[in-house]
C-alpha cells in the first residue's frame, strides 16, 4: 500500500495548494480568535486545556491550531508536504504554537512514543485515505495514555453506498466495505471551490486557483461503520460514544442540498434522509 499512499501524497500536494488559495488570510482569522471547529467535535473532545492531543491527517492545520488555541498541546501529522509546510507557516503567522510532522500516518504511529497522548483526533475526510483500519486503530491504542481517548468525526460511510444519478439519489453499484479500493484518475478534487463559501470559516471566498485539474491520481479505501467500530474495539479501546447526524458540516455531497445554517447541509428535498456524519469516542 505504500506506493498508493505516496501517490495520495502527490495528489494532496496539488490539491492543498488549490484549497488554500480560496481561504483568504487564515492567520488573521485565527489571531482574531476565530475557530474552524464545529460543535460536534468539541462536544466529543471535551475539555482541551492541558491535553496532549495528536491530530492525525491534519491537512493544513486550521483545525489543529483551533484546538491549540483552546489550550491543547497539539501535534499534527499529515502525509502532504504542502499541507505541513502551510500548517507550520500558519502556526508562526497566527502566533499559536503547535508541532507539525510530515509523515505517513502508519509510519508516525509505528514510531511514536507509546502512551503519550491524552487525545487522538481525526475528522472530515480522513478514513477514506486509510488502507488498513486495524493497523491504524492498533497504532492509536498504542500512542494513547491509559484513560486517553480517540475522537473521530467523519462523513458517514453510508455516503459511499449512494450516488446522485439523473436527479435522484440511488444506491451505488460499487462495493464499499472492507477497505474496497476506489482509484480516482482525476485525483483529489478542489472541493473547496466546489463548496464555495460553504466550506469557509468566517472568511470571504477567494477565486484563487481557477479550473483546477489535479495531474496526480489518488486512491481511496471504503469502510463501513462496522469496519470502523470493529477495528477500534479489536484494538482494545472501549467505545464510549457513537453519534450520527442527518447533516454534513461544511460540505455538500449532492446537488440541491439544503443550507441549514451554521455551515450545515441537509439532504435535498424529497431525498431519503440518511445520516451524513458519524461521530465516535473510544477510551484506552
Ligand atoms: C480531507 S483531509 C482532512 C482534513 C482535516 N480534517 C482538517 O483538519 O483539515 C485528508 C488528509 O489526509 C491526508 N492523508 C492521506 N493519506 C495519508 C496518510 N497515509 N498519512 C497521513 N496523512 C494522510 C491528506 O494529505 C489530507 O491532508
Confidence tier at 119 by pLDDT (50, 70, 90)? very high
Confidence tier at 197 by pLDDT (50, 70, 90)? low
The pLDDT tens digits for 158-190 are 998 888 888 888 888 777 788 999 999 999 998
Q: Which residue has the cell 499541507?
A: 83
Residue minimizing CA distance to atom 19 of ligand 1: 104
pTM, two decimals, is 0.96
Q: How many domains does the chain have?
A: 1
Residue 203 has pLDDT above 90, yes or no: no
Q: What is the CATH number of the domain that holds 60?
A: 3.40.50.150
For residue 64, which phi and psi values (nearest 5 degrees)? -55, -45
Residue minimizing CA distance to atom 10 of ligand 1: 126
- Distance in Å, CA 126 to ligand 1 centroid: 6
Helix (H) or strand (E) segment spanning residue 241: strand 238-245
Residue 210 has pLDDT above 90, yes or no: no
Please name which of 112, 160, 130, 155 lies closest in space to residue 232, comparing C-alpha atoms: 130
98 backbone φψ class: left, alpha, beta (φ>0; ψ -120 to 50):
beta
Separation of alpha carbons 139 and 151, rounded Å: 14
Q: Which residue has the cell 467505545?
A: 239
Section 252-280 average pLDDT: 92
Query: What is the sign of the dihedral through the CA atoms of 240, 54, 232 and 125?
Result: positive
- Distance in Å, CA 37 to ligand 1 centroid: 16
Structural domain containing residue 10: 2-283
Amino acid at each position: 500500500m505504500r506506493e498508493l499512499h505516496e501517490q495520495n501524497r502527490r495528489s494532496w500536494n496539488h490539491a492543498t495548494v488549490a484549497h488554500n488559495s480560496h481561504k483568504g488570510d487564515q492567520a488573521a482569522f485565527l489571531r482574531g480568535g476565530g475557530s474552524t471547529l464545529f460543535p460536534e467535535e468539541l462536544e466529543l473532545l471535551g475539555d482541551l486545556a492541558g491535553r496532549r492531543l495528536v491530530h492525525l491527517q491534519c491537512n493544513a492545520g486550521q483545525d489543529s491550531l483551533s484546538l491549540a488555541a483552546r489550550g491543547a498541546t497539539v501535534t499534527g501529522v499529515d502525509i502532504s508536504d504542502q499541507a505541513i509546510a502551510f500548517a507550520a507557516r500558519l502556526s508562526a503567522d497566527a502566533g499559536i504554537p503547535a508541532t507539525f510532522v510530515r509523515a505517513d500516518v502508519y509510519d508516525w504511529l509505528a514510531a511514536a512514543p507509546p502512551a503519550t497522548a491524552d487525545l487522538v483526533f481525526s475528522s472530515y475526510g480522513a478514513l477514506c485515505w486509510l488502507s488498513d483500519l486495524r493497523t491504524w486503530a492498533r497504532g492509536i491504542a498504542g500512542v494513547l495514555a491509559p484513560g486517553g481517548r480517540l475522537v473521530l468525526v467523519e462523513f458517514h460511510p453510508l455516503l459511499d453506498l449512494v450516488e446522485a444519478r439523473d436527479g435522484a439519489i440511488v444506491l451505488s453499484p460499487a462495493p464499499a466495505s472492507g477497505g474496497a479500493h476506489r482509484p480516482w484518475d482525476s485525483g483529489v478534487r478542489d472541493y473547496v471551490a466546489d463548496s464555495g463559501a460553504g466550506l469557509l470559516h468566517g472568511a470571504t471566498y477567494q477565486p484563487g486557483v481557477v479550473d483546477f485539474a489535479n495531474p496526480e491520481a489518488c486512491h481511496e479505501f471504503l469502510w463501513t461503520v462496522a469496519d470502523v467500530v470493529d477495528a477500534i474495539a479489536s484494538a482494545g479501546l472501549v467505545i464510549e460514544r457513537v453519534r450520527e447526524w442527518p447533516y454534513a458540516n461544511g460540505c455538500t455531497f449532492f446537488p440541491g442540498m439544503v443550507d441549514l445554517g451554521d455551515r450545515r447541509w441537509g439532504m435535498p428535498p424529497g431525498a431519503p434522509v440518511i445520516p451524513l456524519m458519524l461521530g465516535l469516542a473510544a477510551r484506552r
